[in-house]
Structure 1
Amino acid sequence: MSQENRLEKTNRINLLFAFYERLLTEKQQTFLKYYFHDDFSLGEIAAEFEISRQAVYEHIKRAEQTLENYEAKLELLQRHDRRMQEIRELETLANDEKLPEQTQRELGVIVQKLQALE
């Protein structure tokens, strides 16, 4: 796996984790945090928990699949991404100098409120 793909995967797992962390078991949460947040290797995690690297790998893979399953059903990350895209479009519109200044300000306030909700 290329460095870019690995980074994309790490970012995706971290985002999914942010949405679905509470739905995971304590062990899944811990292993994902160590591996994706703290950048521990499989060997380091295995040593910490006195289990095999293969067992750590299997726990992480299962936890990743669980996150993906939750996303497939609930689509929280997908909806978040769509909202963020809409906010960016509104922000672009708010900065359009063709619009009256009052409209730009009003749109700017709406954008700030939407960003605060995230």
Structure 2
Amino acid sequence: MDIEKMLEIESLYSQYASLLTDKQRDIISMYYDEDYSLGEISQILKISRQSVYDSLKRSETALKDYESKLGMIDKMKQIEIFVNSIEKCLCFDKENKENMTLEIDAERVTQLKVILDEIKELI
């Protein structure tokens, strides 16, 4: 199995699993999380291997469609970038919190306002 695809589906699943049917969630979970083969899943669920395959493909397509329409994963990535920018702007040292410095001048305040406005647009 392609690692990139597996990571993509797991990321999509963590965000949009509640939008899938119970059966789709079960099949995705068994295939990607528990590493069952299509044949093993078909035996467990007492359905044909082809039905498992079809359901898996429909589920993957649905997850990708949800992301293309809602864009939640992309928004979370952008927010993470903005939060990192805020930390840089505030001279926040994540590794050594005891020695964190806070130096804010007018230019940094302006930068922070711009970053926060961009975050607000995402929300």
**TM over 0.5: same fold?**
yes
Match of 2:80 among 84, 87, 94: 84
Q: Which consecutive unaligned segments of at least 5 residues does structure 2 have?
A: 94-99, 105-123
Question: Where does structure 1 differ by over 4 angstroms across 4 or more consecutive aligned residues?
Answer: none
1:101 and 2:101 matched: yes
2:61 to 62, 65, 73: 65
> Hey, what does 2:51 align to over in structure 1?
55
1:74 match:
70
State TM-score, norm by structure 2.
0.69
Shift of residue 95 of structure 1? 4.7
CA distance in 2, matches of 1:57, 1:34: 12
1:23-59 deviation per Cα after TM superposition (whole angstroms, max 9, x unaligned):
1111111101111111111111011112222211110
Q: What residue in structure 1 maps to residue 4 of structure 2?
A: 8
Amino acid paired to 1:103? E
Q: Which has the higher helix share?
A: 1
Q: Percent identity?
A: 34
Report the CA distance between 1:92 and its aligned residue.
Answer: 4.1
Q: Which residue of 1 aligns with 2:26?
A: 30
Describe the superposition over 1:64-112 as per-residue Cα deviations: whole angstroms up to 9, x where unpaired. Answer: 011111111100011111112222333444358xxx92238xxxxxxxx
Match of 1:43 in 2: 39
| Structure showing greater Rg | 2
Q: For 2:35, what is the secondary structure of its paired residue?
A: coil
Partners in 2 of 1:74 and 1:50 — Cα distance? 34
Q: Root-mean-square deviation (CA), in Å?
A: 2.1
